[in-house]
Amino acid sequence: MAKRKLGRGVAVVGAGMSKFGCFPGYTSRDIFIDAYKDLLTTIDKGFEPKDIEAFYLGNYSSDLFEGQAHLAPIIANWIGLSPIPAVRLEGACASSSVAFREGMIAIASGLYDMVLVGGVEKMTDLPISAVTDTLATAADIPYEVSAGFTFPGFYAAMATAYMHSYGATPETFMKVALKNHFNGSLNPKAQFGQKISDVMEIKKASALKKGRAVPEWANEMEFLSDDRANPVIAWPMRLYDCSPVSDGGAALLLVSEELAYQFTDHPVFVIGSGAASDGALHSRSSLTSIPSAKLAANKAYEMASVSASDIKLAEVHDCFTIAEIIATEDIGFFEEGKGGIAAEEGQTSRTGSKPINSSGGLKSKGHPVGASGAGQIVEVWKQLRGQAGARQLDGNPDLGLTHNVGGTGQTCVVNIFERR
């Protein structure tokens, strides 16, 4: 099969996001408006919203989370974009990466010159049990959910298999949580902008205020090993191995390459994109890899004419800590079975050889599932432009990657971005 390439170049010239977190009284449209307003502040030379020709919105399940379907034209109207085409796309937790690809393809094909892409999810109005049930609809209902599996259970099974195959321990996964919470503490948009050491101090202060015995943890690892402070959700996954239930939105402005410098002197170009699908987890021969992620990554590398060794930073899908480790192997950063070791050795830290999830990742920044992929792109865009503030990586990075998984890997999208 012939090598795939874009019909013409595509650039991201603006990127914004709401704060991720829990926002009672807000709807999805309110949250996306915050993201859109943030985007408007990032377009260096300004633009006319009337020039936007189409809107692609990623959203997993506003129908079940909010009781509101047909979200894209509703939001388009609220931000003043009617009557342009406005479509909602669903790919479970990869919904906004799917939307991004559709917007990218529309520009690359010559159909449009400027499109708005984004994602949004409002999850926190439901109780946790109902959120769990809603997310479970992204699994294979007859074969998995009917057998009692939930998403913590899926990833616990993957973590157990990884431990058995490669000798990892629960402490391996805790290292990922420590790193991502540290990174999230540097991100003002993160839901949990706190280091684990900060969480420890908050819990100590709370115990003292309530007249209870003050815990005496020797260090962060001891805290994360404490069954009361960090309870098991589905062994070996504990509370701080899991991404939170989140509200949030993100927005991106895409234009054709020839127009990019009209809006900014520092556009970020899409040079590779790959997507793939697979059967549900129960149908796979291995639990320690996601085949769709490997295939999507290979397609993106081929289109971009780069390899994993060329990528300077990545935002990967760490819905659970084990997911980040597997992702770093699937995208070719580390050999199979070596991702856990890399995490333990600090290779994926901000100062490591392969910085992963400088934003804090889904684990700390938050995981409003329909917005997570677009949020990843916002982080890479800022890092490549040198605008990530306190979390800006050293070395003037010029190539970044996003990896976004839907479900347990039935969908995966990988994108590669370049600063020229």
The secondary element (H helix, E strand) that includes residue 158 is helix 151-166
Give the relative orientation of helices 128-136 and 151-166 as an angle to the nearest 10 degrees. Answer: 70
Q: Is the dihedral of CA 123, 124, 126, 129 positive or negative?
A: positive
Residue whose structure tokens are 């034209």: 73
Provide the whole-model pTM: 0.98
How far, CA to CA in Å, does 209 sit from each of 103, 181, 368? 52, 25, 33
Asked if the model's pLDDT at residue 4 lies above 90, the reply is no
pLDDT digit string, tens, across residues 219-246:
999 999 999 999 999 999 999 999 999 9
Q: Indicate whether 361 belongs to any domain.
A: yes
> What's the pLDDT score for residue 158?
98
In a domain, 214, yes or no: no
Scanning the structure block, which residue is given the tokens 């070596």? 338
Can you tell me the mean pLDDT for 325-350? 98
Q: Which amino acid is it at 395?
A: G
Report residue 157 as tokens.
């099974």
Cβ neighbours of 93 (radius 10 Å): 29
What average pLDDT does range 253-272 have in this prediction?
Answer: 98
* pLDDT tens-digit readout, 297-308: 999 999 999 999
The residues assigned a catalytic role are: 93, 367
Average confidence (pLDDT) over 13-27: 98
Query: Is there a domain that residue 4 lies in?
Result: no
348 within domain boundaries: yes
Q: How many CB atoms lie within 10 A of CB 305?
A: 12
Mean pLDDT value across the chain: 97
User: What CATH number has the domain bearing residue 341?
Assistant: 3.40.47.10
Angle in degrees, 0-180, between the axes of helices 95-108 and 372-384, rounded to the nearest 10: 60
In contact, 20 and 246? CB cutoff 8 Å: yes
In three-state secondary structure terms, 260 is helix
| All residues at 6 or more sequence positions from 204 whose CB lies less than 8 Å from its CB, including other chains | 214, 215
- The model's pLDDT over 70-116, given as tens digits with 9 standing for 90+, comes to 999 999 999 999 999 999 999 999 999 999 999 999 999 999 999 99
Task: Read off the pLDDT band of 3 (50, 70, 90).
Answer: confident
Task: Give the largest CA-CA distance in the chain.
Answer: 69
Burial class (CB in 10 A: 0-12, 13-18, 19+), 228: exposed
Q: Yes or no: say if 115 and 49 are a contact pair by the CB < 8 Å rule.
A: no
Instruction: Count CB-CB contacts under 10 A for residue 129.
Output: 8
Report whether pLDDT(143) > 70: yes
Q: How far apart are the C-alpha atoms of 134 and 123, rounded to whole Å?
A: 10
The backbone torsions φ and ψ at residue 73, rounded to the nearest 5 degrees and listed phi first, read -65, -30
pLDDT digits (tens, 9 = 90+) for 341-392: 999 999 999 999 999 999 999 999 999 999 999 999 999 999 999 999 999 9
Domain range for residue 92? 10-127+244-419
Domains in the chain: how many in total?
1
DSSP conformational letter for 19: P
Per-residue confidence band for 1, with pLDDT thresholds at 50, 70 and 90: low
What's the gap between Cα 165 and its chain centre?
27
Asked whether residue 177 is domain-assigned, the answer is no
The span from the CA of 103 to the CA of 377, in Å, is 14
Whether 204 is covered by a domain: the verdict is no
Answer whether residue 143 is part of any domain: no
> Is 192 part of any domain?
no
CA distance 95 to 28: 15
Q: Give the confidence band of 2 by pLDDT, cuts at 50, 70, 90.
A: confident
